[in-house]
Chains A and B, each alone.
Chain A
Amino acid sequence: MGRLSAPLPSAPKIAPVPSGPVTDARGAELPIVQAPAVPFLEIEAVRAKEFVPAAKEALTALIAEQGQQKLIRPVFNWAGRNSLFPLHWGLACCAIEFAAAFGARWDAERFGVLPRSSPRQCDLMIVNGTVTWKVAHKLVTLYEQIPEPKWVIAMGNCATGGGPFRTAYSVVPGVDKLVPVDVYIAGCPPRPEAMLDGILRLEKLIQERKE
C-alpha cells in the first residue's frame, strides 16, 4: 500500500516543435524538401479494413492507365529478387561455405537472402554438395514442394557435374539431370564471395524476367 500510494513522478516536459522556418547553427534557413509524388503512396492513412479496397481501387486505375505487363511485372520482379529465400539444407562441404555466407563477415541477409527450413516458404534451392542417387528423389521432392516461381543454384563442382566423384557408382553426375538449374557456381568449394556473386547474377536474371 505504501508503494502504491506514493506520488507518481511528474511527466517530463517535452520541448514544443518549433513552428516557422528552421535555421541551422549559422542562422541560414534550411530548405524544405518535398517528397516526390508516388501514385502508390497517395493513399491517406486509413484503417486496415479500408486499406484493401482503397489499394485495389488505386491499382485498378493504374493498370487501366499503363497496362498490366508494364506495371505489375517489374514490381513483382523487384520484390522477388530482393527477397530470395533459399532452402536451408546442406549436402556436403559446400554447406559450410553456405553457412559462412550468412555469418557476420559476409552477411548474405543484406541482399534479402534468408534461409528457411520449409520448402513451402522458399523460392530458391541452393544445391550445395554431392548429390547421390540415394538422396536424389528426396531432392526432387523438395524441389517440387517449393511454390512457383522457383530457381535453382548448383553450388560447387559436385552439384555442377559430379566433381571428383563423377564416375563413382553412387553419385549423380550433375544435379541438372534432376532439376532445371539457373546458375552454376564453380569451385571446390566456392568461397562465400562466389556464392554471393551467383545470387547477384540470379537477381539479374529475375529482374529481366518477362513471362
Chain B
Amino acid sequence: MQPQDVTKVFAPKLGARLLGVDPFEGTAGRVRFERTAALEAFRAARDDLGFHHLSMVGGIDWIDHREVLYVLWSDAARQYLMLSTDVPASDPHVESASSVWPSANWHEREAWEMVDITFDHHPDLRHLLTPDGYAFHPLLRSFKLHEPEELEVKTRHV
C-alpha cells in the first residue's frame, strides 16, 4: 500500500478535513486529519483499507496543542498505518474510537488520565492506572515532579 492508495480512499470521504498523507517510512504510513472528521477516518481505515487491528492510542503534549495518535495494523497488507489528529490544549476533545475498534477502550482511558485528552462518547471513561479521585495528569509537561507530599489522596475513603 502506497500513500496515493490511502489518499484515494480518504480524500472523497473527508474532503478538506484531510490535512495530508505523509510519505511512508518503512512499512508505516501516517494520515493527518482534523478532529471533526475522526469517526469518518476510523471507519474508512477499517472498512475500506482493512485495518482491523488497533494497536495503540497515544497522546503527545506539544504545550500549545496535543496530538492523538492511533496506530493500526493490517494483516492482509502486513502494514502499519498511523492516524493523527490535533486538539487544542484549551479544549482537548476528540471522538472516541471504541465504537469502531473495541480495543480502544482502555487505551483511551490511559490517554485521558495521562495527558488529559477527553474522548467523547466513550463507554466507560474512568481512571485506569491512577486511583479514583486522582486530580493530576502526570504526563503533561506542566506537571511538576518532586512534590510527593502533595500527591497524597484520601486512601481510606475510596
Binding site for B on A (CB under 8 A): 133-134, 136-137, 140, 162, 166-171, 173, 177-178
CA of A134 to CA of B153 in the docked complex: distance in angstroms?
A: 10
Q: Chain A residues near B129 (CB, 8 Å)?
A: 134, 170
Q: Chain B residues near A133 (CB, 8 Å)?
A: 130-131, 134, 151-153, 155
Contact residues on B (Cβ < 8 Å of other chain), bracket: 10 to 19
Q: Chain A residues near B62 (CB, 8 Å)?
A: none
Known: A167-B146, A169-B145, A170-B130. A137 touches B155 (CB 8 A): yes
How many A-B pairs have beta carbons closer than 8 Å: the answer is 39
Indicate if B158 sits at the interface (CB-CB under 8 A). yes
Instruction: Please determine whether B131 and A134 come into contact, CB atoms closer than 8 angstroms.
Output: yes
CA of A178 to CA of B152 in the docked complex: distance in angstroms?
A: 10
Instruction: Please determine whether A178 and B155 come into contact, CB atoms closer than 8 angstroms.
Output: yes
CA of A180 to CA of B16 in the docked complex: distance in angstroms?
A: 62
Cβ-defined partner of B148 (8 Å) among A136, A137, A167, A178: A167
Q: Chain B residues near A162 (CB, 8 Å)?
A: 148
Known: A133-B130, A137-B131. A169 touches B158 (CB 8 A): no
Which of A134, A162, A169, A171 has the most CB atoms of chain B within a 10 A radius of its CB?
A169
CA of A142 to CA of B149 in the docked complex: distance in angstroms?
A: 23
Indicate if B24 sits at the interface (CB-CB under 8 A). no
Question: Could you give, for residues 118-156 of chain B, a 1 whenever the CB lies within 8 Å of some chain A CB and a 0 otherwise?
Answer: 000000000001110010101000010110110111011
